[in-house]
Amino acid sequence: MHKVTSEELFQRALKVTPGGVHSPVRSFKGLDRAPVFFKQAEGAFLTSVEDKKYIDFCQSFGPLILGHRDPEVAEEVHRMVDTAWTFGATEIYSLELAEWISNTLPFMQKLRFVSSGTEAVMSALRVARAATGRSKILKFEGCYHGHVDNLLVKAGSGLAGAAASSSAGISAEVAATTVVAPLDDEAKLAEVFAAQGKDIAAVIIEPLPANYGLLVQRQEFLQKVSELCKKNGSLLIFDEVISGFRVGLAGMVEKTGITPDLVTYGKIIGGGFPVGCYGGRAELMNMVAPSGDVYQAGTLSANPIGMRAGLVTLKKMQRLDGWNVLEKRTQKFTQSLRDGFAKKGVPLKVEQHSSLFWIHGNTSGTIRTIEQIPANQGATFKGLFLKALDKGVYLAPNAYEVGFVSMAHTDELLAEAAQIIVNAVE
């Protein structure tokens, strides 16, 4: 009997979906291969339609800090499926998660659940504009904040901080409401603030930029961002959609000691279900409808299955001291990658922060900006990715995406994966 293949499914998908995918990076674009079609996931593993098993370092791009279908989360999800799917009314499940977050993270005085990271960011920006009466948002080159119109921009030419849209379909007027600054450059940031500070409603930053490689920032730089915001009356928004509940319980707020005005979350907060969240200072969040006049709503917001999956995930991580466990495991794993690359004499470097890692070809010092990413990053990654894939390791299928280690990745499994990845390098 003929068994369906990923290639056949991709051809079918191309007929009904743009590029055959529902989110661009899933498509294996530039990798000259049809994407693998998966049918099942468990722990650290994915199983393809061809019944091939892969060690998964994509982990759905970050939500699955416990791994796929963690048994405790699964039990709670099953219970919730048997209880209610959605209410569209007040209920106890979102209340419990909101209270847990607010009690655990004191800077989250008030919060609102939404259904994605993009929605969280979009809503936080609206609050910032309302609170300051200003229209501009400052973002950093190399940070991603979801597909919000005015944040799909890159540095343009002209005035300090001028932006140009990085996607078709975004009007020049909308792009012009965003100011773009480079990461890792206090002087440039001060220059941008000097020119446009009085118009900047908010600065949004991934305090641990992890969407264009892993560009760990200096504390002094982040401190300067915070300082300039305060001085200019602009709000500071930490976008912790990736780093939140990933680098530690209180994310980069805790790691940096900087308290932003608003924080956005997604991914881990829903334990693998579609949940986003924005929150922070109560007086800002009180501006949101119905208590204030910043409108924001959602039919499936605070979906109870995501609320329960999120709460169980966070409590389990806390109980197991999961963030420390993961940090140690990931350090060991990335060190064995480095050792393996060095032994083979290949010029590759591995960045690591908590349970995130990224392999790149810039061996000359720490990489903090997108300009420092080597031009051949795509080509380097392609060879490594395809060979590792053949041997059963699934990295996120893009040279600029980070890898995620979960609690389901044991030391033994990580040692095996490191060997496969090292062997995959020419």
Which residues would be at the binding site for ligand PLP (CB under 6 A)? 61, 116-118, 121, 144-146, 206, 211, 239, 241-242, 266, 276
Please, which residue, 117 or 260, has the CB nearer to ligand PLP?
117
Q: What are phi and psi of 233, to 5 degrees?
A: 70, 25
CB of 36 to ligand PLP, least distance (A): 20
CB of 387 to ligand PLP, least distance (A): 26
Q: What does the radius of gyration of the chain's CA atoms come to, in whole angstroms?
A: 21
CB of 425 to ligand PLP, least distance (A): 27
Please, which residue, 205 or 348, has the CB nearer to ligand PLP?
205
User: Could you tell me which of 304, 317, 224, 230 has the C-alpha nearest to residue 268?
Assistant: 317
Catalytic residue among 144, 212, 278, 394: 144
Q: Which amino acid is at 192?
A: V
- Tell me if residue 323 falls in helix, strand or coil: helix
Please, which residue, 175 or 204, has the CB nearer to ligand PLP?
204
Catalytic residue among 56, 70, 184, 239: 239
Q: Give alpha helix (H) positions in 49-133.
A: 71-81, 92-104, 117-132
Please, which residue, 352 or 398, has the CB nearer to ligand PLP?
398
CA atoms within 13 A on the CB side of 210: 26
CB of 253 to ligand PLP, least distance (A): 14
Please, which residue, 176 or 356, has the CB nearer to ligand PLP?
356
Per-residue exposure over 139-162, b if at least 16 CB sit within 10 Å of its own CB, e if not: bbbbbbbbbbbbbbbbbbeeeebb
CB of 115 to ligand PLP, least distance (A): 8
Tell me, yes or no, if 267 is annotated catalytic: yes
Dist. CA 39–CA 51, nearest whole Å: 9
Tell me, yes or no, if 3 is annotated catalytic: no
Q: Which residue, judged by CB position, is nearest to ligand PLP in the bound state? A: 117
Look up residue 12 and give its two tokens. Answer: 């079918």
CB of 101 to ligand PLP, least distance (A): 17
User: Could you tell me which of 347, 324, 358, 335 has the C-alpha nearest to residue 414?
Assistant: 335
Catalytic residue among 139, 267, 316, 349: 267
Strand partners, 238: 205, 263
Strand partners, 110: 280
Site of tokens 């806390």: 318
CB of 118 to ligand PLP, least distance (A): 3
Please check whether residue 152 is in contact with residue 166, taking contact to mean a CB–CB distance below 8 angstroms: yes
DSSP 302: T
Tell me, yes or no, if 343 is annotated catalytic: no
Please report, for residues 40, 80, 167, 307, the alpha-carbon distance to residue 277 in angstroms, rounded to integers and kept in the order given.
28, 20, 25, 11
Please check whether residue 265 is in contact with residue 276, taking contact to mean a CB–CB distance below 8 angstroms: yes
Please, which residue, 35 or 207, has the CB nearer to ligand PLP?
207
CB of 354 to ligand PLP, least distance (A): 15
Site of tokens 């279908």: 69
Strand 200-205 versus strand 136-140 pairing type: parallel
Q: Annotated active-site positions, please?
A: 144, 239, 267
